[in-house]
Each structure stands twice: as structure tokens, then as C-alpha cells.
Amino acid sequence: MAEIARDQSDPRLRQLSFFLPNRLGALFRATQHLEKQHVRICGLSLLDATDHVVVRMIVNRPAAAKAQLEEAGFSVYEADLLGVALPAGEEFGIRRVLSGLLGAEINIAYAYALIVQVDGHPVLALKVDDMGMATRVVRSAKLDLVDQDQLGWEERA
């Protein structure tokens, strides 16, 4: 059964964040824990400092990923992000998203692209200061919101 963001009526992406030591192989070892539960990383952002790295990720099975990472000793933080499928064409969707959010005076704390597509479209994940208003803005721009249960990988035989 697909996992979804906690009881949200509007589409959301569930992000997991945790700290790693800024050392060779630390991210590889963390992802090995996810592999044990067949968790796939759908989006990844790394922010490094001198002695640590902040890992932000969106996965296909956030509850399983969180449990596995916590069992491995990581403190995991959760957040809801806005996911927007970006259409191809002359007016590329990211400009429409940014223009709409700017017009509504919605601040973007950070954003990153996912490594999976939804219905053949790239997906942008955004952490915004007003999720409800941002959802309305994206819908009014006639862009598709992406929900957690839409993320996945095509399994090959």
C-alpha cells in the first residue's frame, strides 16, 4: 500500500532530514540502511558544513525509511513539501511556479528537483512558508501538484 503524507487533503511530499558526519562514505552507509527495506530515494539535497552534512530526501516509503534510519541511530526530522510537476514547452513550468509564488508573496526556504518523474514530467519540491496559499497559487497557474503516492520507480522484469 502506498504511503502518503499525514492526513493531508492537499497533495504533499514527505521529506526526511538528518545529519551525517562530513566524512567519506557516510552517505553511502546511510543509504545501505534504506536498501534493507527496499526504500527508493526519489529526491536528494545535501548541505555541507565543515564537520557535518544536512541530508534532505524524499523517498517512496517515508515511514519505512524513517524507522530504518532511526534504528540505525539517526535523528530524523519530517517536513511537508510542495511537489509540482513541471510541464515541458515554451513556457517552462518553473518560471510559472516562481512567478505565482512571488506574486502571492510566498517565501521559498529551499527547493530541489526530484530524480524521478511523474507522468513524464520533472518534479520540483519546494519548502514554502505558506503551504495552503502556495497550493492555491500552483493550482491557479494550472500546474499539477504531486502527492507522495505518485512517487515510485518502474520495476523492470
DSSP string, the chain: ----STT-SS--EEEEEEEEESSTTHHHHHHHHHHTTT--EEEEEEEE-SSEEEEEEEES-HHHHHHHHHHTT---EEEEEEEEEPPPSSS-HHHHHHHHHHHTT--EEEEEEEEEEETTEEEEEEEES-HHHHHHHHHHTT-EEE-GGG---PPP-
Q: Which long-range contacts (CB under 8 A, 24 or more apart) does 27-31 make?
A: 27/53, 27/55, 30/55, 30/69, 30/72, 30/74
| pLDDT per residue as tens, the chain (157 positions) | 444 444 457 899 999 999 999 999 999 999 999 998 899 999 999 998 889 999 999 999 999 999 999 999 999 999 999 999 998 775 667 888 899 999 999 999 999 999 999 988 999 999 999 999 999 999 998 889 999 999 876 655 4
Domain boundaries, the chain: 13-78, 80-150
pLDDT value of residue 50: 87
What is the reported pTM?
0.86
pLDDT value of residue 10: 87
pLDDT value of residue 1: 43
| Torsion (CA) 129, 132, 137, 141 in degrees, nearest 10 | 120
- What lies within 8 Å, CB to CB, of 25 at 6+ separation is none
CATH architecture of 80-150: 2-Layer Sandwich (3.30)
13-78 folds as VC0802-like (3.30.2130)
